[in-house]
Amino acid sequence: MTLDTPLHQLGLAEAARLIASGKITSEALVSACLARIAERETVVQAWSSIDPDYALAQARGCDTGPSRGPLHGVPIGVKDVLDTYDMPTEMGSPIYKGLRPAWDASCVALARAAGAVILGKTVTCEFAGMAPGATTNPHDASRTPGGSSSGSGAAVADFMVPLAFGTQTGGSVLRPAAFCGVMGYKPTFGTFNRAGVKFAAESLDTIGLIARDLEDLALMRAVLTNSEAVAPAMPQAQLRIGVCQTYLWHKAEPGARAALERAASAAREAGAHVEDFVLPPPFSELTATREILNNVERARSLAYEWTHHRSAISPALTRSIELGLATTDQQYRAALRVAEWCRLELDTLFGAFDVLLTPSANGEAPEGIAYAGDPSFQGLWTLLHVPTISLPAGRGPNRMPVGVQMIAPRYGDHKLLDAAHWLIARAGVHGLME
């Protein structure tokens, strides 16, 4: 990026550097993002709450005060299941219309302490679940942006904000990233503190990030983990990549299949050791296992809402809660055991590989916005608690974005980001290739 680049198109890290050097101001950057929102929001509808005057006041405060940290003066978006003390947190539900918590979620507080401007709250599916809001895909307003981090994916893809927080219980960070043609990162389970998030399913929920640049993901990860901000680097040894079609391959559409084959071929030609990776038979139970855990834990998390506001809960979420309530504790504990066995087994299977490549989603974003897409290609890895990232990898038959998903072993997040950097820089897997 250069100063010739429109300010609203700057990435998080580049914008932070330019503000720190005095080449741009936070107010100018935030103003540019707000102008983009004013231009496009009637179509994209990515924001559930935004106050331009308050955003500009935050920016002016950054410009007139000392630097607070590595995000000083840079705007970010916050998915509306994460609490903010100065903005409504409505969780995509009429039950919480106008709710104003007295605190920030941990990730919001840490970003704010590092100098970030909280631009606004982004649209979420109801309780980070299955019932979408009004957000559309920036590439085609007749299609879904994915969910449940709908607004975060759309806002970043449409250059309204450089980075936004999401959450993932099934595929709620990676699917919007894939459908909108940007990057989505779900860290190892538990990496980012979840205080201040409205739980969907507590054994699955993971706070994640959506951005347009890998360095931006690494920078925000450093802020949230109190670690040194180190840009992704080239792996020192030959990268070992397992190409994993998974037991869901029959659901993969032509665009997803072509993207995976393209990425694997490019990686092989660039010098990686690439071979097929097959999940053992017990892993084929993971989609059903995740559904059991999701339904039971949603029913428990939403016990108050179910008891007092049942009529305000969508039919899709109602069905999930009913299934959860009908599941015995014995069935729930059996599902937990399946998940833990597969996690331990995957730790062993990863011995021959640094990372895996698999489809980010089953294909392009579906038509219509009433359905946010199939979460199964992301959900099995969410259940396994491994770090994953979706990278843009071209367009499908309908000229909509498709992505590839890269996966590393649990706690191998640095390895994941380095491998993604290699795939982009050496193999050329990045962007909406024509």
Q: How far apart are CA 55 and CA 284, in angstroms?
A: 47
pTM, rounded to two decimals:
0.97
- Write down all domains in the chain, each with its CATH number in brackets: 7-225 (3.90.1300.10)
Tokens 């539900």, residue?
93
What DSSP character marks residue 365? P
* Nearest in space to 55 (alpha carbons), one of 95, 89, 28: 28
Active site residues: 79, 148, 172
Per-residue pLDDT of the chain (434 residues; tens, 9 = 90+): 456 889 999 999 999 999 999 999 999 999 999 999 999 999 999 999 999 999 999 999 999 999 999 999 999 999 999 999 999 999 999 999 999 999 999 999 999 999 999 999 999 999 999 999 999 999 999 999 999 999 999 999 999 999 999 999 999 999 999 999 999 999 999 999 999 999 999 999 999 999 999 999 999 999 999 999 888 988 888 999 999 999 999 999 999 999 999 999 999 999 999 999 999 999 999 999 999 999 999 999 999 999 999 999 999 999 999 999 999 999 999 999 999 999 999 999 999 999 999 999 999 999 999 999 999 999 999 999 999 999 999 999 999 999 999 999 999 999 999 999 999 998 878 764 43
Relative to beta strand 75-79, strand 117-122 is: parallel
Positive or negative torsion for Cα 102, 107, 111, 116? negative
The pair of structure tokens assigned to 96 is 């919480």
